[in-house]
Amino acid sequence: MSAIRSVVVMVLALIAASTLMNSFYTVNEIEQVVITQFGKPVGAPVTTAGLKMKLPFIQVVNPIDKRILEWDGSPTDMPTKDKLYVSVDMFARWRITDPLPYFLRMRDERSAQSRLDDILGSETRNSVAKHELIEIIRTTKDRVPLQDTSLKNANNVVGMLLPIQKGREAVEREIFAAAAPKVGVFGIELLDIRFKRIDYNQSVRPKIYDRMVSERRQIAEQFRSEGNGEAARINGNRERDLQKIQSEAYRRVEEIRGEADAKATEIYSKAYNQSPEAVNFYEFTRTMEAYKSIITTNTTLVLSTDSDLFRFLKGITGKDSPPVDLRR
């Protein structure tokens, strides 16, 4: 009797406990909740966190993420307007702002992701096909690149950025503007869509590399020619400076020697020309000096007894006459 009673009490307590447990639910900070009653949403979605109450068993809790969610597109090859095949990888951030339509039309995130794949993927394709590659590579329209000073006069292709009309950010905004309303109907707010990677397709790469190689070769060639040119210039300078120095030296030397000779001449003539006696004496002494060097051991001298030296050979009185002959 008491055993049956206690079993009944225990069963009732269990039922009461599970009913109580089932009428409470928690909402995390990161989620919002749609309550459904027999599959049909009832009441407004619960967006605040904490312990909440509901009808037990009849109502079901459907948690939906409240955070900013990711969408990471897979890399896809697509052509640009200038017929270059590039592999484009996008990413977007989105948020479920309106849980009811989202819950009704998507049920779960997997279908939402695949819907985003479709919409964002096709908008990306559209936009990329409408623009040239450079438009989705570059961003700032009038950016002036830094240039290697040694390459400054290379030519106008190397070290320059290609001009753009819109730029990457504008294209991203275009894609965003086209896609945002399309996903809006699902209760999804698209926050942002950006290019993550844009890369040359495998088939395009060799051509790009070839171009880079030729560009580099051209720069290398320029360096070499600059080197040779500069060296030639320096050699020219060397030759010029050398000639200048040597001719200067010659000029200066001749000037100095001329000065010296002039000065010496002036000194001599001043002294020798001071009086007729001086002229006479100079002539005499100089002639004597000259004899000393002109008459050497190999000379035969024929002298007359009329000469001043030998006139006394003829007689003591002598006669006044110069030497007769002088031969070498």
Partner 1 sequence: MNWRSPREITLRTWQLPPRFGFWWALLLVAVLIGVWSGLYTVPSDSAGIVQRFGEYIKEVPPGLHIKIPFGVDRATIVPVKRQLKQEFGFETPGAMDPYQGSRDADRETQMVTGDLNSALVEWVVQYRIAEPLKFLFQIRDPRMTLRDVSESVMREVVGDRTVDEVITIGRQEIEVDALTKMQALAAKYELGVSIDQVQLKNVNPPKPVQESFNEVNQAQQEKEKLINEARRQYNKVIPLAEGERDQRIREAEGYRLKRVNEAEGDVARFSAVLAEYLKAPEVTRRRIYLETMQQVLPMLRSKIILDEQGRQILPLLQLDSEKAGKP
Question: Any contact of residue 117 with partner 1 (CB under 8 A)?
Answer: no
Smallest gap from Cβ 17 to partner 1, in A, equals 14
Q: Is 179 helix (H, G, I), strand (E, B) or coil?
A: helix
Residue 38 or 112: the one with the smaller Cβ distance to partner 1 is 112
CA distances from 72 to 90, 93, 98, 306 (A): 6, 9, 22, 138
Question: Any contact of residue 305 with partner 1 (CB under 8 A)?
Answer: yes
Q: Label residue 28 left, alpha or beta by phi (over 0 means left) and psi (-120 to 50 means alpha).
A: beta
CA 123 – CA 228 distance, rounded (Å): 55
Question: Any contact of residue 21 with partner 1 (CB under 8 A)?
Answer: no
Question: Any contact of residue 18 with partner 1 (CB under 8 A)?
Answer: no
| Encoded tokens for 208 | 């790009």
DSSP H or E stretch at residue 135: helix 133-137
Smallest gap from Cβ 196 to partner 1, in A, equals 5
Taken as a whole, the chain contains a residue count of 328
Question: Any contact of residue 299 with partner 1 (CB under 8 A)?
Answer: yes
Residue 50 or 181: the one with the smaller Cβ distance to partner 1 is 50
Full DSSP string of 90-129: EEEEEEE--HHHHHHHHSSHHHHHHHHHHHHHHHHHHHHH
**x-marked contacts with partner 1 along 118-137 as a string, rule CB under 8 A:** ---------------xx--x
Question: Any contact of residue 81 with partner 1 (CB under 8 A)?
Answer: no
**x-marked contacts with partner 1 along 180-219 as a string, rule CB under 8 A:** -----------xx-xxxxxxx----xx-xx-xxx-xxx-x
Question: Any contact of residue 159 with partner 1 (CB under 8 A)?
Answer: yes
Residue 38 or 316: the one with the smaller Cβ distance to partner 1 is 316
Q: Which residues pair with 197 in a beta bridge?
A: 89
Q: Half-sphere exposure of 47 toward its Cβ, with a 13 Å CA cutoff?
A: 9
Smallest gap from Cβ 11 to partner 1, in A, equals 19
Smallest gap from Cβ 119 to partner 1, in A, equals 19
Question: Any contact of residue 77 with partner 1 (CB under 8 A)?
Answer: no
